[in-house]
A and B are shown apart, each in its own frame.
Chain A
C-alpha cells in the first residue's frame, strides 16, 4: 500500500492571534508551530496503522519553505517513512492542491489523506481540490477507515449522523476525529526522523486565484452581566427581551 499524507504546520492552539503590517500578515512573533492536529492525530496515525497491518509506505507531503522542515520532521518522528516538500510559499488552497496533485499524479498513491481542515485557515478545501485534479472520488470528513484489498469502507460525517461508504482505491479523504488516536513520538522515532529522506521538489506555476488582503479581529465583547443563581426568571427575561434569542 502506498499512502500519501498531506501535512501542514499550524500555530499552537494557545497562540495569541495578532496581525502586523497593517493587518495584512499573521504575527508570528512568539508563535510555536505544531503539525496541524487533524493531519497528525487522525490522517497520519491512521495511515501508519494501515501500513503496519498491511505493509507499504507512508509518505508525507507539504507545500512550504525550509521553515516548515521542523514540522515535517515531527511527522517523520511519529513514523512516516519519508517526506516530500514542494518548495514554495503556499498562496491559497488551489495553489497547494495543484502542487500536491501534480506530485500524486506522477507517483500514484492508493490513498491521499488530508486533515479535515487546518486550525488556522479552516478552509476544508484541499482534499476536494486534489481529488478533482486527480479525477478520483473524495470522502470528506471521514471518521473511520478500514481497507480490504482495494476496497475501503469509511464512516463519514453528514448532516444528522454518519454514512457508511464504500469506495475503491485510489481515492482522497479528509480525516476527522474518531479515525485514530494521537501518538506521542518516542526518542527512537525522533532520532530516526533526523536521517529519514526529506526530498525538496520545485513548485509548478499556478495562477493566483485568491489572496487574503487583510485580517480583522472580532469586536470586543461587552462585559458579562452576572445573574444570581436563584434568579433564573431574570435570565429568561433577559434572553427574551434583551438578547432576543428565545
Chain B
C-alpha cells in the first residue's frame, strides 16, 4: 500500500505527533511524508518514511493550502491511505482532505487498522468511555491518529527528500499573531501530567502543583470548575468538555473524579489519585491511590522524586 503522512512543521521542527503518524503509516505501507517550509526532514526516514516531499512555498499550514498540498501529493504518488495526527492542525486539515478525496475518514484512531478482508480502524468514542471499530468502504482512506496512542519506532532508515512546487492557490485565513501558552510540552502531547482540582482551595496554592510538574518535566492540567472560576487558564481544562489526553502518567490531586472529568483522562496509562476523601469516585479509576491531604502529599512526592532524580 502507498501511504501519505501529513507532517506538521513548526519553526523548522517536526512535532512528536507527526513522528508517531509517520511510524504508524510505515506499518501500513510505503510512506511518503508531506511537509512544508524550512524544515529539517532528515529524521523522518529514521521513523520509517521512504520519501519526503517538501513544499518550500508554504511557510505555515493553513487549512486550504495544506489540503491542496496533500491532495496533490496523493495524486502524484497514487497513495490510497492518508494519515494525520488528530492534533489541532490535523483537525483543521484531515476532514477537508477526506471531503476533497471522497474518502472515508476514521477520526481518533488508537491502533493500526485491520486489513485482512475489510479495512477496520479502532477509534476513540464517547470521550474515551468506549471504542468504535470503523469500517472504511472507499478506495481512498483517511486516518487521524490520536496523539500518544502509538509509540513511534526508530528503524534507522533514511528518506529520499525532494521539493515540490504544486500550485496551492491562496490562503483564506491570515495569521496575525501567536499567543504562547508558555514553554513546555502542550497538554495533548504530554506524556506526564500533573493535574489539580477544587480541592486545592485557591489559585495561590498552585505553586506545589507547578513544583511537582517541574521536577517531573510534566505539563499542568486542571478540572473544569477550576478553569471556569479563573484559577487556571482554559487550555488546562481536561475532561469531556475540555482537552482529552492520554499521557503515560496522570497525577490528580484534589479532583473528585466526576464522570465528565474521567471521560477525558481515562485513556491515561497510569493514574495516581491524591484525595482526602477515601470515597472519592476517582479511586475507582486509579492505579495508585493516596488518601491524604494534597497540601502535604504533593510536597512529599516532590521531595521523593527529587531524591530519585538525583540518584539516577
Contacts and interface: CB of A to CB of B under 8 A. Distances in A.
Interface of A: 11, 13-14, 17, 19, 37-38, 41, 92-94, 97, 119-129, 131-133, 136-141, 143, 153, 155-168, 171, 174, 177-178, 207-218, 221-222, 224-230, 232-233, 235-236, 238-240, 243, 245-246
Contacts of A133: 99
A94 to B, nearest CB: 7
Given A160-B186, A210-B105, A235 B88 contact: no
B270 A125 contact: no
Nearest to B267: A218
A236 B91 contact: no
Given A137-B63, A161-B181, A14 B105 contact: no
A243 B285 contact: no
A224 B125 contact: no
Contacts, number: 280
A213 B249 contact: no
Given A215-B130, A227-B288, 9 more contacts: A132-B99, A133-B99, A136-B172, A159-B10, A166-B176, A217-B130, A225-B289, A226-B288, A246-B308
Contacts of A124: 86, 91, 95, 107
A97 B92 CA distance: 15
Nearest to B282: A224
Contact of B237 (A177, A207, A221): A177
14 contacts: A13-B240, A13-B259, A94-B105, A125-B95, A159-B10, A159-B189, A161-B178, A163-B179, A164-B179, A228-B290, A235-B290, A236-B308, A243-B287, A245-B248
A214 B82 CA distance: 23
Contacts of B171: 137
Interface residues of B, number: 102
Given A159-B15, A212-B134, A246-B249, A122 B124 contact: yes
Contact of B180 (A38, A161, A209, A211): A161
Contacts of A218: 128-131, 266-267
A97 B95 CA distance: 10
Contacts of B186: 159-160
B153 to A, nearest CB: 17
Nearest to B269: A245
Q: Which of A122, A133, A233, A243 has the most CB of B within 10 A?
A: A122
B176 A165 contact: yes
A123 B107 CA distance: 5
- B interface SS class: mixed
B165 interface: no
B198 interface: no
Nearest to B185: A160
A124 B67 CA distance: 16
B201 interface: no
Interface of B: 8, 10, 15, 62-64, 67, 86-89, 91-100, 102-108, 118, 120, 122, 124-138, 171-181, 186, 188-189, 191-192, 216, 227, 234-235, 237, 240-242, 244, 248-249, 259-260, 263, 266-267, 269-270, 272-273, 283-293, 296-297, 300-301, 303-305, 307-308
A211 B134 contact: yes
Contacts of B122: 216
A123 B108 contact: yes
Nearest to B304: A232
B132 A131 contact: no
Given A210-B137, A215-B130, A38 B286 contact: no
B175 A165 contact: yes
A49 B138 CA distance: 41
Contacts of A163: 175-179
Given A13-B263, A163-B175, A221-B287, A209 B103 contact: yes
A41 B237 CA distance: 16
B288 A224 contact: yes
B103 A131 contact: no
Contacts of B129: 17, 217-218
Given A210-B105, A212-B133, A166 B174 contact: yes
B125 A155 contact: no
B105 A213 contact: no
Nearest to A212: B132
| Top-5 shortest CB links A-B | A137-B172, A128-B95, A229-B292, A209-B104, A210-B104
Contacts of B95: 93, 97, 124-129, 132
